Structure 1
Amino acid sequence: MPYYIGDVIQDEKKLIARTPEKFRAGGIDARLETRVSGIDTAGGAVELADGRKLPYDILVMATGTSAFVPDLPGLDLPGVVSLRNLEDAIAIKARLRDKKVRRVVIVGGGFIGLEMCESLAAANIATTIIHKDPLPANRWDAALSQMMLDELHAHGVEFVGGASARAVAEGKNAPLCVATDQGDFEGDLVLLAIGVRPDSTLARATGLKIGASGAIAVDFSQRTSIENIYAAGDCCESFHRVSRRWVNIPLGDIANKQGRVAGRTIGGKPMLFEGIVGAQSFRLFGLECAATGLSEREAAAAGFSPINNITWGSAMAPALGLRKIGLKLTADRSTGRLLGAQAVGVAGAVGRINALSVALWSGLDLDAVGWLDLAYSPPFSPSWDIIHNAAQALGRLL
């Protein structure tokens, strides 16, 4: 959606995977703008807000996420928005155009906030980010987050780190002003991008078991705690193959896989969703940013004794030039098992994280990772890839 707002994608219809017409052509009764008020599990019926009931044999919960909205004064002012769905994206894009917005203040320096910076820059709109931590994308190692911060500065983005938003009010020189403990920042539009959380309100009211993450608890077939009710997507948990815990990581690829597993199981061709390793990525102007597995902090919380290192290198053979990339590996000190990886670079970061995701999925240790047979060609890597160098260097610290 940020790429639609920034006009990289100009037609919002390209963001719609399947229209109601396509659903209906396949025999599926798709009802839009229809609110569910409750679930009658004893009677097997979905209760609609208009008083009607829809009977069911099998029910699938796919309520997604809701944006986390802080408790601040002034959030009801015109021009204070959050990005939750396509309707929000369409409204934000229209406001940017119709109000001739020149500056946007973003509250939050995570994925959504950072991706929006690039989209706004493409539309020649100045941006200020207000973030509670000193560096953006705080799940990444500080050295890698510093690369992101340098990239923001190089493209004219104002980053206000270690700041807490106190209120939104009318501005003196612009329609809106965000008051923080580090000063006031004015803009024509304020975007709340603090994060999302699973929308489990209906599930809780229905009596479904809710996991420690706040999302709907499911098994490997996407069944919930109540018979004949399944859940899939951002509203439910996934099994993390590294931490061996049930977690909620709201990503589109995970949601698609869970939906397929639920559908096949309901349709009589059962299959299992065997988990995730948490692979994720985003682009920040000229940088690829990607991570997989556990961060150092997450590894410690999961009971491991984490050890880590950061290796700097090039995404291509030195004779062809330097394409800087940084790679952080985290492993278990007692076993040498790989636990997580983070990479940021002008090229090659996502591909390397994908390779390391396979290593995590398979439970490889540093010795195995250090000798992986990876595709080599000078335009894409040195003969000893940064993956090899990082794994072997960390292995020597065990």
Structure 2
Amino acid sequence: MKLLIIGSVAAGTSVGAKARRNDESLQITIYDRDQDISYSGCGIPYFVGGEIEDIDTLTPRDAAFFKKRYNIDVKTQHEVESINHQTKTATVLNHLTGERFEDTYDTLVLATGASSIIPPFPGVDAPNVFSVRNVQNAGAIRTYIEQHDPKTVTIVGGGFIGLEMAEQLTYRGIAVTLVERLPQVMPPLDFDMASRVAGHLESKGVRLLLNESVTALTGEGEVTQVELASGKSVATDFVILSVGVKPNTELATQIGVTLGQTGAIAVNPQMQTNVKDVYAVGDVAESFSVITGEAIYRPLGSTANKMGRIAGMVITGEEAAHRGILGTGIFKAFDLTVAQTGLTEKEALAAGYDIEILHNIKPDRPEYMGGKDMVIKAVADRETGRVLGAQIVGPQGVDKRIDVLATAITFKAKAEDLFHLDLAYAPPFSTTKDPVLYTGMALDNAIKKTARLVTPETLVEQTAEEETIQIIDTRSKKQFEKNHVDGAVHIPLGELRTRAAELDPSIPTVVYCNKGVTGNAAQNVLKNLGFTDVCNLSGGNTNYQHLKHCFSKK
């Protein structure tokens, strides 16, 4: 059997490698129009910034490696221009020689990946405007910096790559302006969590222009101004375009392959398309949510490798199926780590879930061991108790917690299950009640209404609508005088039992402390004294003050 793979980055090479492990008789050929194969696209920002010194480290394997180890013919700078699936032939252009020729196949794998979206505004073709997708882009950006010593850069797009580039270019001493058309950076996050990232970026000197759209890049020969829809303009020495990617589906549509609702190729769990003997893997194919079962598009190297392996297994007769993804992602913004898995609040609501929300602010390990606070926002389904998603922002310990939560969500854990996890504990690594355990406990209590929660956003809405509500600040007098929730009265926890008569037990009551733990204790006191409707403010005053500030800027 002749296996033809189009695309030689993570997914395509994974298909070939797994297929070869299972079957020595296969004739495997991989074509790629690029000159580099199996490269680490996610490492590009760090090469541009100088953390990675040698660009060759981004391309650890070449065509000779695959030929020697797997007996796979990898043809780089060979572009498949068209496919005739009736005759099972592909027309290939050799960019090195200009020669065109035909090749045949029995099974075809589309691993054509995705391309950077290049907005159609004037000036995008200027020599100092760069996209960030492949190794050539990385080399071009770093060469430009080293040759021209630019002082300013404008990054268009506030997603993963845009923020990583902002960090790395700042480290190089270049003043960064980041333009994002949405009211927040990092669209995959909820606004309240994304605003924490935005504040951190600004504290590091990154200038953020949110709710702004680029209309043109202007200048003589090279771009020197970025024109915005608001009428503002930004002076710049060069421009980075990072507005997202689109799947390369042109060859697929030529032969009648169906595209899914995300615009990427629709595949079944075996990575098969609707066309017999045609598979699709990696950034050109859509996946589906572990939680909802709905199609989603999250182009990541980790998912591409997984898809490639599954296709290689199925092609060679092994049983395998893709089980979906959670859209888990993580990145570093200076000394802050940001991670997300599963459904966000807005996604869970859009999917029709009745949700419970918890903001848990806890150190990753004891403060006496250098622990620093992380903010965990967790979302759970009230009906079933199932954890639906989590977002975490913090300086350390985030990666461990997001992976634990991703694993738990994959296996349909309920909030109460998180509390019962037997996680590793020692002071250098965790608190006795790990933030994941506390998240599960507090979420479960809220779902079962033994310790109900109210989010700062809901509380702001309730007070704005002048609902009858009493708000109790249980902190110290000094803390209360520094700042407090609007409309709150000050009754420290130690005085709450004796002063409870000052309150009306029939009125909805909200209690809070700094981060939520003392507020929960106050909640229990009032409930035991006969108060029938008591909520603890999720994340306490710390969370409230942050969200009040960020929503006032929205």
Does residue 388 of structure 1 match 2:437?
A: yes
Does residue 40 of structure 1 match 2:60?
A: no
- Amino acid of the structure 1 residue aligned with 2:322: F
Query: How far apart, CA to CA, are the structure 1 residues paired with 2:178 and 2:220?
Result: 17
Where do 1:168-179 residues align within 5 Å?
168-170=217-219, 175-179=223-227
CA contact (8 A) 1:243 1:299 kept: no
- Amino acid of the structure 2 residue aligned with 1:127: V
Report the equivalent of 1:145. 194
Query: How far apart, CA to CA, are the structure 1 residues paired with 2:311 and 2:78?
Result: 23
- Amino acid of the structure 2 residue aligned with 1:227: K
Seq. identity, %: 35
Where do 1:179-258 residues align within 5 Å?
179-180=227-228, 181=230, 183-258=232-307
Query: How far apart, CA to CA, are the structure 1 residues paired with 2:263 and 2:49?
Result: 32
The answer for unaligned runs of 5 or more in structure 1 is none
**What TM-score results when the alignment is normalised by the length of structure 2?**
0.69
Q: CA deviation at 1:392?
A: 2.1
Does residue 29 of structure 1 match 2:77?
A: no
Q: CA deviation at 1:300?
A: 2.5
CA contact (8 A) 1:72 1:166 kept: yes
Secondary structure in 2 matching 1:71: coil
Report the equivalent of 2:397. 348
CA contact (8 A) 1:318 1:382 kept: no
1:105-162 deviation digits (Å, cap 9, x = unpaired): 0011110110001211222222110112333213223332222122212221111122
The number of residue pairs the alignment matches comes to 397
CA contact (8 A) 2:217 2:223 kept: no
Where do 1:1-398 residues align within 5 Å?
1-25=44-68, 26-49=70-93, 50-170=99-219, 175-180=223-228, 181=230, 183-398=232-447
Query: How far apart, CA to CA, are the structure 1 residues paired with 2:186 and 2:345?
Result: 14
CA contact (8 A) 1:171 1:186 kept: no
Query: How far apart, CA to CA, are the structure 1 residues paired with 2:208 and 2:347?
Result: 26
CA contact (8 A) 1:243 1:294 kept: no
1:36-68 deviation digits (Å, cap 9, x = unpaired): 111111101112245421100111100111112
Q: CA deviation at 1:19?
A: 0.4
Q: CA deviation at 1:17?
A: 4.1
Moved over 6 A (4+): none
Query: How far apart, CA to CA, are the structure 2 residues paired with 1:200 and 1:163?
Result: 30
Q: CA deviation at 1:85?
A: 1.1
- Amino acid of the structure 2 residue aligned with 1:38: S
Secondary structure in 2 matching 1:329: strand
- Amino acid of the structure 2 residue aligned with 1:378: P
Secondary structure in 1 matching 2:368: helix
CA contact (8 A) 2:339 2:398 kept: yes
CA contact (8 A) 2:271 2:280 kept: yes
The alignment yields a C-alpha RMSD, in angstroms, of 1.8
Q: CA deviation at 1:171?
A: 7.7
Q: Which has the higher contact order (CA 8 A, sep 6+)?
A: 1
- Amino acid of the structure 2 residue aligned with 1:9: I
The answer for unaligned runs of 5 or more in structure 2 is 1-43, 94-98, 448-554
Structure 1 residues 144, 379: CA separation in 2 closer, same or farther (over 3 Å shift)? farther
Structure 1 residues 383, 359: CA separation in 2 closer, same or farther (over 3 Å shift)? same
Secondary structure in 2 matching 1:8: coil
1:7-27 deviation digits (Å, cap 9, x = unpaired): 111111111142011122232
Query: How far apart, CA to CA, are the structure 2 residues paired with 1:238 and 1:23?
Result: 27
1:322-349 deviation digits (Å, cap 9, x = unpaired): 4020001011121111110100100011
Secondary structure in 1 matching 2:115: strand
**What TM-score results when the alignment is normalised by the length of structure 1?**
0.95
The structure that is helix-richer by fraction is: 2
Secondary structure in 2 matching 1:104: strand
Query: How far apart, CA to CA, are the structure 2 residues paired with 1:175 and 1:235?
Result: 32
Structure 1 residues 207, 128: CA separation in 2 closer, same or farther (over 3 Å shift)? same
CA contact (8 A) 1:171 1:177 kept: no
Report the equivalent of 2:485. none
Q: Give the greater-gyration-radius structure (CA).
A: 2
Query: How far apart, CA to CA, are the structure 1 residues paired with 2:61 and 2:370?
Result: 44
CA contact (8 A) 2:190 2:346 kept: no
